[in-house]
């Protein structure tokens, strides 16, 4: 994989907020990559698999991380919900 190095200047309070959530073994570069992965995934700019890879997690771990911070890992539309309800109703009618 080809990588690009980016130098970034941040206001001190933003940098402090970014580093305030650094826990355990994660270093600053990994923290920035994780935050970037979340943002790019939330925008729809990269896939779940690519975001997980950037954050150095597997897809399940990344999906659980998104859940912990209140973001959906998968889009579930109103149409899909209505189709699921119709399917459940048809299954119940077949059994009843």
Residue 75, classed as helix, strand or coil, is coil
Q: What's the pLDDT band for 19 if we cut at 50, 70, 90? A: confident
- Residue 42: name the closest of 16, 26, 65, 21 by CA: 65
pLDDT 10s digits, 36-58: 999 999 999 999 999 999 999 99
Domain boundary assignment for the chain: 14-95
Q: CA 80 to CA 74: how far, in whole Å?
A: 12
Q: Angle between the 28-43 and 59-68 helix axes, to the nearest 10 degrees?
A: 80
Q: Spell out the residues 6+ positions from residue 54 whose beta carbon is closer than 8 angstroms to its own.
A: 33, 34, 36, 37, 40, 46
């Amino acid at each position: 994989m080809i990588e690009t190095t980016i130098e970034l200047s941040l206001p001190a309070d933003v940098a402090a907020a970014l580093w305030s959530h650094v826990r355990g073994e994660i270093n600053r570069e990994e923290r920035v990559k994780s935050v970037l992965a979340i943002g790019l995934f939330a925008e729809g700019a990269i896939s779940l698999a690519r975001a997980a890879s950037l954050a150095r997690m597997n897809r399940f771990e990344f999906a659980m991380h998104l859940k912990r911070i209140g973001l959906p890992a998968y889009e579930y539309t109103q149409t899909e919900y209505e189709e699921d309800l119709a399917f459940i109703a048809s299954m119940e009618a077949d059994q009843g």
